[in-house]
Amino acid sequence: MEDLKQLEEKLNISFKNKELLEQAFVHRSYLNEFDFPLGHNEKLEFLGDAVLELITTDYLYHELPDKAEGELTAIRAALVKRETLTEVATELDFYKYLKLSKGEAKTASNQATILSNTVEAFIGALYLDSGYEPAKQFITATIFPKLDAIIKSNLYIDSKSQLQEIIQEKSSITPHYEVINETGPDHDKHFEVAVYAGDKKLAQGSGNSKQAAQIDAATNALDNL
């Protein structure tokens, strides 16, 4: 694992409590193999998720005054979703600083859930260490630049509504969704969902919530159509 001082220098951030910064990069699996007094990063992730949502909501409210509530909600979801946060983590080389079990470490750079959760944990740690404004500055510098691409590519558009409209144009059938697999502990669930038109399976998708998996399935179904 590389020295976290390098990350602080890269981000122009200096933690007063270095233990908070270190804990943000400790995955639960690490504690199965190593003694570590600070614990894993899941509570920091929990806090960081809430801080990220608040800061993003405030930003979008002022940045996009002409957008309706439903559209703002969809744009926010696209900005804070796992794929976006994983992209940020990859750009910042977060995987280099992670403390993981030996098994997890072999594939950490490709594990979207671990990487996206680490971004949230980092935000939580930064908020605890330095407050709202530094957390906002980090999010503004790393996540909000993704906004233009999301809007231009219509990535935030509700794929479930689009799919339902297309299917109902051709028939009176309303697409329905079924969970086909569910893995992980309660704090880190992963769902696989299939979308059907009647008895016909159109596609399947995955996500860290049933809603996210349904959206992914609908998006894949639209691609197939």
Q: Which domains does the chain have, with CATH numbers?
A: 7-152 (1.10.1520.10), 159-224 (3.30.160.20)
Got the DSSP string for 63-97? H-TTS-HHHHHHHHHHHHSHHHHHHHHHHTTGGGG
- Mean pLDDT score, 1-28: 91
Exactly one of 42, 45, 120, 129 is catalytic; which is it?
120
Exactly one of 49, 104, 129, 216 is catalytic; which is it?
49
Counting other chains too, the contacts that 201-209 makes at CB distance below 8 Å and 24 or more residues apart are: 202/163, 202/175, 204/180, 207/82, 208/82, 208/113
Specify whether 120 is catalytic.
Answer: yes
pLDDT per residue over 81-114, tens digit each?
A: 888 999 999 999 999 999 988 877 776 555 888 9
pLDDT per residue over 37-84, tens digit each?
A: 889 999 999 999 999 999 999 999 999 999 887 778 778 888 998 889
pLDDT for 186 beyond 70:
yes
Would you say 113 and 82 are in contact if contact means Cβ atoms under 8 Å apart?
Answer: yes
Would you say 156 and 73 are in contact if contact means Cβ atoms under 8 Å apart?
Answer: no
pTM above 0.75, yes or no: no
pLDDT per residue over 203-212, tens digit each?
A: 999 888 888 8
Residue predicted with more confidence, 134 or 31: 134
Please state whether beta strands 190-197 and 200-207 pair in parallel, antiparallel, or not at all (unpaired): antiparallel
Per cent of the chain over pLDDT 70 is 95
Q: What is the structure's pLDDT at 110?
A: 57
